[in-house]
Amino acid sequence: MFTHPEYDGHEAVLHAHDPATGLMAIVALHSTRLGPAFGGCRMYPYAEPAQALTDALRLARGMTYKAAICELPYGGGKSVILADPRRDKSPELLRAMGQVIEGLGGRYITADDVGTTLADLAVMREVTKHTAGATAAAQEPLAVTAYGVLMAIEAAVRHYYQRSEFTGLRFAVQGLGNVGYPLCEHLHARGAALVVSDVDPARTAKAASELQAEVAGPEAIYGETADVFAPCALGAVLNDRTVPMLRVRLVCGAANNQLAEWRHDTLLAERGIAFVPDYLANAGGVIDFHQEAIDDRPEAVLASVERVRDITADLLARAAVTGETPLQVADRIVRDRIRAPR
């Protein structure tokens, strides 16, 4: 465990098993230095338990960084359930997971994620109070993550292209799920041209029909000539194979852990491609969770998410002065905040 390539001083990693319900889960707490660890509960049919551990470790660390870069009073955590949500999900299994979370005594607050829903959180709340999605506003659809990515893009386009409008810019968007598609709607409304990719042809057909998007294949999207590449699907898509294929100046998207390895940030920079840290661009969810406890009106939530634009602008300005990449600057800011005395 302590020699795992994704281990980063995580405070705790819990392996949970409940034979009665079939629950097999991992909970990773990266840091509670700034507050309780916040992060979603993912349910996915991992081929190997080692893949689940890697996911939990990486995603928990990312949550710490999201909260810290946005100066929110949370740490980072993640839970993963090794199961197929279409086949294995049951109220009993969800309650068993809720009991695991309750046993952590408030050190970890969970949320919905890949394979879990707000309805699943409601079942968990039968046995634990430590979940997101408990307010009335949380039950209303509001694409906060997509809006946060839009804010990051807005700041980056202003910095690198000296433009406040998207008309005449071309965006290559990978992934048209719950974040990617609303992001495309925002971009289209702002006059951007779109080329999109998704493994589901129904989604790309919808984008072509409703948003006049061009469609590229899952591999071809990397080689599309565009101004911005927005990864909004899987992680680790920026790697030794794909970085040389990119024909953009800027990468800014919603996917978690977009870099296969940290060195790929340097590889992008060597090619003249700026990378907006993914943990900043996709921080809308944790901002939303925090804001709903203060003022849960949709307009107040979206206004709070707009801080992503200001933080991104400041980050890019600092990087321009120091000659570092935006990710290097962001990582340093986060580490300083985590280490600072409370």
The residues that are catalytic are 78
Cα dihedral angle (221, 284, 76, 130), rounded to 10 degrees? -130
Cα–Cα distance for residue pair 232/174, rounded to 1 Å: 5
Cα–Cα distance for residue pair 228/137, rounded to 1 Å: 32
Cα–Cα distance for residue pair 79/30, rounded to 1 Å: 11
Strands 37-44 and 75-82: parallel
198 in Cβ contact with 180 (< 8 Å): yes
Residue with tokens 């710490």: 64
Q: What are phi and psi of 258, to 5 degrees?
A: -65, -30
182 in Cβ contact with 148 (< 8 Å): no
249 SS3 class:
coil
Structure tokens at 164: 């406040």
Vertex 161 angle, CA 157 and 165, to 5°: 55
Amino acid at 231: P
Cα–Cα distance for residue pair 41/115, rounded to 1 Å: 8
In order of 64, 131, 296, 306, the CA distances from 260 in angstroms are 19, 30, 36, 28
Cα–Cα distance for residue pair 132/134, rounded to 1 Å: 6
Strands 23-31 and 75-82: antiparallel
Q: What are phi and psi of 254, to 5 degrees?
A: -100, -15
Cα–Cα distance for residue pair 37/63, rounded to 1 Å: 8
